[in-house]
Homo-oligomer: A and B are copies of this chain.
Amino acid sequence: MALIVQKYGGTSVADGARIGHVADKVCAARRAGHDLLVVVSAMAGETDRLLSLGKNISQRPNPRELDVLLATGEQVSIALLAIALEKRGLSACSFTGGQVCIRTDDAHTKARILAIDEDKLRDTLARGCIPVVAGFQGVDAAGNITTLGRGGSDTTAVALAAALKADECQIYTDVDGVYTTDPRMVPEARRLARITFEEMLELASLGSKVLQIRAVEFAGKYNVPLRVLSTFKEGAGTLITYEDTAVEAAIVSGIAFNRDEAEITLIGVPDVPGTAYRILGPVAAANIVVDMIVQNVARGGRLDFSFTIHRNDYPQTIDIMQANLRHIGAEQVVGNDRVVKISIVGVGMRSHAGVASSVFQALSEEDISIRMVATSEIKISVVVEEKHLELGVRTLHAAFRLHEPPQQDFLQRSAGASRRRGGITG
């Protein structure tokens, strides 16, 4: 008998019928002999409805009061699900964030969980009762209601799973797992049975549609096995867990991409200390997020410096560069706001040479020119022209044979890794 934390998102509890369906799933898991704790989000659309009620009164609502307002969304869901569970003959008990003392800092609308008083939940579980806990919310030290920011319910579920040392934290959503890439772009994309926390973090652009990145970080930090499943479709979903270093992992797990990128290059920048700061300082001051940064080796005392930003920030960034050109000492600024980023992610890269050259080879065979390259330990990102996005993703998906089921190494990984302790960062 395992302890499982299940989290159901807004679309899973969007109306009475869907709440009934969720209650049926909880019943089934209970009947299979598991102890259960359920976390729910607000009904789909409810948070937006509440937010517009508040914005209707004030364009900049007081953040403390905004949290009081938004927290009602999840409170409605916990009550309704508990009613549905009781109707099915199960014992259930709803709890707001405050009632189970999900202690957070006082950063209203984006609070972070500091501690959880698990006693009440343990008592409830010991009575054979299913705690139904409101996601997304907590209380600060003074008892004020706080919220964790959008998608915070995933974090609530992972934090509760960590506090109670649950065997698994299951995130039910409207997709049935993490795919090798976006199936809308590559029909052959395959659901991954497993993926590591690190890969999941690097696949943020794919994963953020599925899981809050903060929840993945939290799960990695406290070693909570995390599973993404569909509320509406049966299946094992994708388990996010630790890599088992004893066996070989697939070299590449998935391909992520970002549309809406823009690149900026400063040509002929003097190779003197402080150049990068002189370039990026004004960008940061304008609150523009810089993604990739590439600096070539200097030739003749001068170098080229490139970085990417969100496409929306392109005109403003060009203006900032023009205004600072003399101060930076660069010869020229050039840019392109029609580029995209494609990233190949996989923990297997660590032990496999030649992944980068395979990427370059595959793309060159399709005449796709690479504008920028950046690498991390488990990721290779390339910037290409927008028109090459689909061809590039498909080419790489095929080149790394991601459409094929993994060899036995995946099966071996599932056998071993489950509950090993350790941090995910180096």
Does A78 belong to the interface (CB within 8 Å)? Answer: yes
A140: shortest Cβ distance to chain B, in Å? 12
A281: shortest Cβ distance to chain B, in Å? 35
A262: shortest Cβ distance to chain B, in Å? 37
Which residue of B58, B61, B68, B86 is within 8 Å of A65 (Cβ)? B86
A415: shortest Cβ distance to chain B, in Å? 42
Are the CB atoms of A76 and B53 closer together than 8 Å? yes
A78: shortest Cβ distance to chain B, in Å? 7
The stretch that binds B, out of A93-101, A310-318, A381-389, is: A93-101
Contacts of A395 in B (CB 8 A): none
Query: Per-residue CB proximity of A126-162 to B under 8 Å, as 1/0?
Result: 0000000000000000010100000000000000000
Are the CB atoms of A83 and B58 closer together than 8 Å? yes
Are the CB atoms of B99 and A143 closer together than 8 Å? yes
A112: shortest Cβ distance to chain B, in Å? 21
Are the CB atoms of B99 and A82 closer together than 8 Å? no
- Chain A residues 50-109 with CB under 8 Å of chain B are 50, 53-54, 56-58, 61-62, 64-66, 68-69, 71-72, 75-76, 78-80, 82-84, 86-87, 92-94, 96, 98-99
Contacts of A82 in B (CB 8 A): 62, 65, 68
A377: shortest Cβ distance to chain B, in Å? 45
CA distance A269 to B280 in the complex (A): 100
Does A402 belong to the interface (CB within 8 Å)? Answer: no
Does A16 belong to the interface (CB within 8 Å)? Answer: yes
Are the CB atoms of A79 and B54 closer together than 8 Å? yes
Number of interface residues of A (CB under 8 A): 36
Does A19 belong to the interface (CB within 8 Å)? Answer: yes
Does A20 belong to the interface (CB within 8 Å)? Answer: yes
A87: shortest Cβ distance to chain B, in Å? 4
- Chain A residues 353-409 with CB under 8 Å of chain B are none
CA distance A98 to B99 in the complex (A): 9
A101: shortest Cβ distance to chain B, in Å? 10
30 of the cross-chain contacts (CB-CB < 8 Å) are A16-B53, A16-B56, A16-B57, A20-B57, A53-B80, A57-B83, A57-B84, A57-B87, A58-B84, A58-B86, A61-B83, A61-B86, A61-B87, A62-B83, A62-B86, A64-B93, A64-B94, A65-B80, A65-B82, A66-B79, A68-B75, A68-B79, A68-B82, A69-B79, A69-B80, A71-B75, A72-B72, A75-B75, A99-B143, A99-B145
The chain A residues found within 8 Å of chain B, CB to CB, are: 16, 19-20, 50, 53-54, 56-58, 61-62, 64-66, 68-69, 71-72, 75-76, 78-80, 82-84, 86-87, 92-94, 96, 98-99, 143, 145
